[in-house]
Amino acid sequence: MKITDIRERSFPLDSPLRNAYIDFSQMTCSVVAVETDVLRDGKPVTGYGFNSNGRYGAGGLLRERFLPRLQAATPNDLLDESGSNLDPFKIHTCMMSNEKPGGHGERSVAVGVVDMAVWDAVAKIEERPLNRLLADRFGGDVPADERVYVYAAGGYYYPGKGLEALQDEMRGYLDLGYRDVKMKIGGASLTEDLARIEAVLDVVGKGEHLMVDANGRFDLQTAVAYAEALAPYGLKWYEEAGDPLDYDLQAALAKHYGLPMATGENLFSLQDARNLIRHGGMRPDRDWLQFDCALSYGLVEYLKILAMLRDEGWSSRRVVPHGGHQMSLNIAAGLHLGGNESYPRVFQPYGGFADDVEVVDGFVGLPDCSGIGMERKAKLYELLQTV
Ligand SMILES: [Mg+2]
């Protein structure tokens, strides 16, 4: 077999919503298609990948560095031992040739997008859902989970959005079948944010059904002020209080907040994830880790991160990836993670799961189709075919 074509294109995300740090009106997303000469149902197998929201598309890097390396490679550099399928590990090595260590965020999105497309193609060539392929190859003797815990991430700051609109949004998520919801904090004053939190608690009932996300906005003093104000609510978690690379802040905050915290979506490599575990004071009995493969070199790197966590005494069930995409959903099911983020009405058409998959009491199943399952999401598939 061989790769016959690799195409990439950037699309606008084009969304007016805002968190504590950025608005998404100028955000872009890279989409990659890896086409092979393997035929299934009479058509060449094509794998698709895209990057998660929160980081811009990486078209320049893909065109200048990573795709040319794959195009110049020999079949032996890209294929598995049988020669009949792609080898994601070899492809990762090929893309990372001539790259220095460190500086991960500069390129981890570009590599992650290609990695997603490669795994999609690998599973399609094997004619299996990716989650089952992952469980077989890397999940020990445990089959893939049949359903995955999901929560609805929303509660963004929109221009002119008041408390009633926020409550309506959250009520909508519960109506869709979600049990837990997440909202942004740190984009308003503490007083205003507490009013927003209480408005959402009126809808979801208990604090255990609500997470809050500061998107790395706070200094230690502000993070602690929020921690003290949040503690009485008993929230499910307090997410990304300070700068994602300020491990000292995270560790200091843990001394002021005994309840669960979450972070990791802006750490893009094994080394950064390991530093969080070494120095961030994260507690394996209650905290949550949110590394997102689509932003951090893809699944090849993610497998190394999961192995590191195992060695450090963390259960894979404490990992609930950021991003709300089907790749992480497959990883969550196949590698027995704790769940997956979900964006029911934002970041479309990338966010969300197959069209016919329903959320039932906060869990989703996975479609029975080969690959990641993007073909089962009509609006996304329509866009992928234009790449
Ligand atoms: Mg977040």
For the chain, the structural domain boundaries read: 3-127, 137-384
CA distances from 244 to 161, 215, 277, 308 (A): 28, 9, 12, 19
Sole residue written with tokens 């009491």: 361
pLDDT for 43 equals 96
Strand pairing category for 28-40 and 43-50:
antiparallel
> What is the 241 CA–ligand 1 centroid distance (Å)?
10
Burial state string for 116-149 with b = 16 or more CB within 10 A and e = fewer than 16: bbbbbbbbbbbebbbbbbbbeeebeeeebbeebb
pLDDT for 126 equals 98
For residues 188 and 18, give the distance between their C-alpha atoms in angstroms, rounded to a whole number.
11
- The C-alpha torsion from 342 through 348 and 354 to 359, rounded to 10°, is 40
> What is the 4 CA–ligand 1 centroid distance (Å)?
37
> What is the 292 CA–ligand 1 centroid distance (Å)?
11
Contact in structure between 319 and 337 (CB atoms under 8 Å): yes
pLDDT for 197 equals 98
Sole residue written with tokens 């929303």: 154
pLDDT for 16 equals 66
Torsion 108-365-320-181 (CA) sign: positive
> What is the 351 CA–ligand 1 centroid distance (Å)?
14
Q: Record the tokens describing residue 166, joined without a space.
A: 């926020």
Q: In this structure, how many other beta carbons lie within 10 angstroms of the beta carbon of residue 158? A: 15
> What is the 89 CA–ligand 1 centroid distance (Å)?
28
For residues 191 and 226, give the distance between their C-alpha atoms in angstroms, rounded to a whole number.
10
Tens of each residue's pLDDT in the chain, 387 residues: 999 999 999 998 766 667 777 777 788 899 999 999 999 999 999 999 998 888 899 999 999 999 999 999 999 999 999 999 999 999 999 999 999 999 999 999 999 999 999 999 999 999 999 999 999 999 999 999 999 999 999 999 888 889 999 999 999 999 999 999 999 999 999 999 999 999 999 999 999 999 999 999 999 999 999 999 999 999 999 999 999 999 999 999 999 999 999 999 999 999 999 999 999 999 999 999 999 999 999 999 999 999 999 999 999 999 999 999 999 999 999 999 999 999 987 777 888 899 999 999 999 999 999 999 999 999 999 999 999
Contact in structure between 162 and 154 (CB atoms under 8 Å): no
> What is the 152 CA–ligand 1 centroid distance (Å)?
12
Contact in structure between 232 and 255 (CB atoms under 8 Å): no
Max Cα distance, the chain (Å):
62
pLDDT for 219 equals 98
Q: Which CATH superfamily is domain 3-127 in?
A: Enolase-like, N-terminal domain (3.30.390.10)
> What is the 126 CA–ligand 1 centroid distance (Å)?
34
Burial state string for 9-27 with b = 16 or more CB within 10 A and e = fewer than 16: bbbebebebbbbeebbeeb
Residues with catalytic annotation? 184, 322
> What is the 321 CA–ligand 1 centroid distance (Å)?
10
Residue 85 CB-half CA count within 13 A:
15
pLDDT for 15 equals 66
> What is the 290 CA–ligand 1 centroid distance (Å)?
8
Print the SS3 string covering the chain.
Answer: CCEEEEEEEEEECCCCCECCCCECCCCEEEEEEEEEEEEECCEEEEEEEECCCCCCCCHHHHHHHHHHHHHHCCHHHHECCCCCCECHHHHHHHHCCCCCCCCHHHCHHHHHHHHHHHHHHHHHHCCCEHHHHHHHHHCCCCCCCCEEEEEEECCCECCCCCHHHHHHHHHHHHHHCCCCEEEECCCCCHHHHHHHHHHHHHHHCCHHHEEEECCCCCCHHHHHHHHHHHHHHCCCEEECCCCCCCHHHHHHHHCCCCCCEEECCCCCCHHHHHHHHHHCCCCCCCCEECCCHHHCCCHHHHHHHHHHHHHCCCCHHHECCCCCCHHHHHHHHHCCCCCEEECCCCCCCCCCCCCCCCCECCEEECCCCCECCHHHCHHHHHHHCCC
> What is the 11 CA–ligand 1 centroid distance (Å)?
22
Angle between helix axes 108-125 and 88-95 (nearest 10 degrees) is: 160
> What is the 322 CA–ligand 1 centroid distance (Å)?
7
For residues 355 and 379, give the distance between their C-alpha atoms in angstroms, rounded to a whole number.
9
Q: Record the tokens describing residue 338, joined without a space.
A: 């704790």
Sole residue written with tokens 């109506």: 175
> What is the 374 CA–ligand 1 centroid distance (Å)?
23
Amino acid in the structure at residue 81: E
> What is the 240 CA–ligand 1 centroid distance (Å)?
6
DSSP lists the bridge partners of residue 28 as 12
pLDDT for 21 equals 73
> What is the 2 CA–ligand 1 centroid distance (Å)?
38
Q: From 3.30.390.30, 1.10.260.40, 3.40.50.10190, 3.20.20.120, which CATH number describes the 137-384 domain?
A: 3.20.20.120
